[in-house]
């Protein structure tokens, strides 16, 4: 093809700079820079990319990587940086100043999203975050996956930050920094604290003060001694969703001011010891409307859940059925119930109440029993719920995988014989 025809066919180069920059943003920054060889039309496009992501894994050594980052930032035009990502594995301590300069450059260019993953070795090393990070007026999303030191100002901190993710990687994380990083977030809406605490200290206080916080996730793996304690003081009156996806709540203590809490997802199934009433966790979320709780071997009582409308219980251990009964007793407005029983654990026999809980008489509309295997206790629970739920519209059984067809048919026939407290209730069975 002649050069003249090639120019006619080159429709990509004819696109506006804004569109081409979006295309280049989908490429690795190394390849985006190499587009300069295509034609003079592409010479300077990479210098105005809105998103810059750097990773030292793709370079022969740290010097080559740092030289590349320096050159990209040096030759960049005056346009803003929307997103800046840095993934630097095991940098030398003498290069911390260059990392800080890169972060400060992104801040001066009005960065909106900042993702910092600085993997330090050995663990006792720490990287100090620049003070200008905390006062950046354009920063809305911040992800910290580093062993860092934070020294935020007492006022004017994170004025625009809406999403904050902190990944705790090391057992020797500076405790005061971890506490301070959450203390001043006036417009924060989404906070995620994840990772491993290891053996930080005997007591660690997480003081979270975020008046606009709507979503909170705490996913911390704990490798601790019995005398260690991690306290969470959460002042978030607008909090709507609280997630505790994993962790040993026996070393967690919670105080939560969250009047607007709508949904909570709590996984305590990794707890291998008995503890009393989850150290205030259930009390702290007792005004929730939707609750998903995975647990086993709990001790202590269940607080009143007066606003609870939807409950999902994934139960295991010796006290599982007692906790089902306790939740039914303490949730007068419950309308939707989902039960999944982990048969892999030894458990107590199901004993029906001498009286019927209020929710079963006036509110409970749907019940789902998942992974149903037809054990004696499973059948007793299903029979009890079906018999005494007077306004129930539907009961759904999902049969556990591997159950022979003959047993499934026998279960279905037995279900049809159960007495029903509601004349309008339908029973549905699925594989």
pLDDT one-digit tens code per residue, 177-187: 666 777 778 89
**Is the confidence at residue 94, as pLDDT, over 60?**
yes
Write down the pLDDT at residue 317.
Answer: 59
pLDDT at 44: 65
Phi/psi region, residue 403 (left: phi>0; alpha: psi -120 to 50; beta: rest), is: beta
| Portion of the chain with pLDDT greater than 70, in percent | 74
The residues pairing with 225 across neighbouring beta strands, listed in sequence order, are none
Q: How confident is the model at residue 222 (pLDDT cuts 50, 70, 90)?
A: low
What is the Cα–Cα distance from 191 to 228, expressed in whole angstroms?
24
Q: What's the CA gap between 285 and 264, in Å, rounded?
A: 8
Under DSSP, the state recorded for 174 is -
Is the pLDDT at 411 greater than 90? The verdict is: no
Pick the residue with more confidence: 380 or 335? 335
- pLDDT at residue number 3: 55
Q: Tokens standing for 173? A: 């994380």
Range of the domain at 26: 1-47
Residue 330 lies in a domain: no
Strand order in the sheet with 203-209: 203-209, 229-235, 252-257
Strands 215-222 and 229-235, by their bridges, are unpaired
Q: Please give the helix or strand (H or E) that residue 396 lies within, else none.
A: strand 394-399
| Cα separations in angstroms, 32 against 26, 46, 413 | 9, 6, 66
| Residue 191, strand partner residues | 164, 216
Residue 241 region, left (φ>0) first, then alpha (ψ -120 to 50), else beta?
Answer: beta
Inter-CA distances, 286 with 88, 259, 264, 415, 429, Å: 43, 10, 10, 34, 32
Distances (CA, A) of 150 to 146, 173, 195, 330: 11, 11, 18, 43
Give the confidence band of 134 by pLDDT, cuts at 50, 70, 90: very high
Out of 121-130, 241-250, 279-288, the most confident range is 279-288
Q: Are 425 and 418 in contact (CB under 8 A)?
A: no
Rounded Cα distance, 153 and 158, in Å: 10
Q: What's the domain count of the chain?
A: 1
Give residue 2's pLDDT band: very low, low, confident or very high (50, 70, 90).
low
Does residue 353 lie in a domain region? Answer: no
The predicted structure's pLDDT at residue 371: 79
Beta pairing class for 310-316 and 83-89: unpaired
Q: Is the pLDDT score of 113 beyond 60?
A: yes
How far is the C-alpha of 386 from the C-alpha of 415, rounded, in Å? 9
Per-residue pLDDT band at 98 (split at 50, 70, 90): very high
- 20 belongs to a structural domain: yes
pLDDT band for position 247 (cuts 50, 70, 90): low
Which among 177, 115, 183 has a CA at the least distance from the CA of 151?
A: 177
Decide: 230 and 257 in contact? Cβ < 8 Å. no
Q: Average the pLDDT over 351-357 and give the result.
A: 79
Asked if residue 382 has pLDDT above 80, the reply is: yes
Distance CA 364, CA 387 (A): 12
Mean pLDDT, range 270-278, rounded to an integer: 46
**What 8-state DSSP symbol labels residue 390?**
T
Residue 127 pLDDT class (50, 70, 90 cuts): confident
Q: Which residue has the tokens 């047993």?
A: 407
Looking at every residue in the chain, the average pLDDT score rounds to 80
Question: Is there a domain that residue 32 lies in?
Answer: yes
Sign, CA dihedral 354-357-358-362, equals: negative
Angle between helices 376-388 and 320-330 (to 10 degrees): 10
Residue at 24 is within a domain: yes
Helix-helix angle 96-108:62-75, to 10 degrees? 20
Statement: residue 73 has pLDDT above 50: yes
Cα separation, 217 vs 113, in Å, equals 19
Question: Looking at the domain assignment, is residue 23 inside a domain?
Answer: yes
- Stretch among 154-158, 214-218, 386-390, 402-406 having the lowest mean pLDDT: 402-406
Do 213 and 207 form a contact (C-beta atoms < 8 A)?
no
Tell me what pLDDT residue 238 has. Answer: 92
Q: Is residue 29 part of a domain?
A: yes
Residues 6+ apart with CB under 8 A from 40: none
Of 327, 318, 302, 292, the C-alpha closest to 377 is: 318
* pLDDT grade for 345, boundaries at 50, 70 and 90: very low
Bridge partners, 366 (sequence order): 336, 394
* Three-class secondary structure of residue 7 per DSSP: helix
Q: What pLDDT digit, counting tens, does each position of 20-49 carry?
A: 667 767 666 766 666 665 656 566 666 678
Tell me, yes or no, whether 340 lies in a domain: no
- Confidence band of 197 (pLDDT split at 50, 70, 90): low
- Mean pLDDT value of segment 216-235: 74
């Amino acid at each position: 093809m002649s050069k003249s025809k090639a120019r006619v066919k080159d429709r990509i180069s004819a696109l506006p700079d804004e569109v081409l920059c979006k295309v280049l943003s989908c490429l690795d920054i190394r390849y985006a820079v190499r587009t300069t060889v295509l034609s003079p039309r592409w010479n300077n496009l990479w210098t105005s990319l809105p998103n810059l992501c750097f990773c030292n894994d793709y370079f022969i050594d740290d010097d080559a990587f740092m030289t590349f980052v320096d050159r990209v930032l040096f030759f960049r035009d005056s346009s803003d940086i929307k997103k800046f990502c840095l993934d630097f594995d095991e940098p030398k301590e003498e290069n911390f100043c260059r990392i800080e300069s890169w972060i400060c450059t992104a801040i001066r260019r009005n960065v909106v999203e900042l993702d910092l993953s600085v993997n330090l070795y050995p663990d006792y090393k720490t990287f100090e975050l620049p003070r200008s990070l905390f006062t950046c007026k354009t920063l809305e999303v911040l992800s910290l996956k580093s062993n860092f030191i934070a020294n935020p100002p007492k006022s004017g901190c994170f004025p625009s930050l809406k999403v904050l993710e902190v990944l705790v990687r090391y057992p020797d994380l500076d405790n005061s920094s971890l506490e301070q990083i959450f203390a001043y977030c006036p417009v924060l809406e989404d906070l995620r604290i994840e990772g491993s605490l290891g053996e930080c200290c005997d007591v660690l206080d997480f003081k979270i003060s975020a008046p606009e916080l709507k979503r909170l996730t705490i996913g911390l793996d704990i490798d601790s001694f019995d005398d260690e304690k991690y306290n969470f003081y959460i002042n978030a009156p607008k909090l709507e969703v609280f997630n505790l996806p994993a962790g040993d709540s026996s070393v967690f203590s919670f105080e939560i001011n969250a009047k607007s809490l709508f949904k909570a997802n709590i996984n305590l199934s990794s707890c291998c010891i008995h503890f009393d009433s989850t150290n205030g966790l259930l009390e702290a979320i007792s005004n929730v409307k939707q609750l998903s709780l995975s647990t086993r071997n709990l001790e202590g009582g269940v607080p009143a859940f007066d606003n609870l409308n939807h409950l999902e219980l994934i139960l295991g251990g010796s006290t599982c059925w007692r906790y089902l009964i306790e939740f039914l007793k303490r949730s007068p407005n419950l309308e939707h119930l989902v039960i999944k029983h982990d048969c892999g654990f030894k458990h107590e026999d199901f004993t029906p109440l001498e009286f019927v809980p209020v929710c079963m008489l006036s509110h409970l509309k749907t019940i789902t029993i998942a992974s149903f295997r037809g054990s004696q206790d499973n059948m007793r629970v299903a029979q009890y719920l079906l018999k005494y739920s007077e306004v129930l519209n539907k009961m759904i059984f999902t049969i556990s995988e591997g159950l022979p067809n003959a047993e499934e048919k026998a279960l279905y026939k037995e279900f049809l014989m159960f007495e029903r407290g509601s004349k309008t209730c339908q029973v549905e069975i699925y594989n």
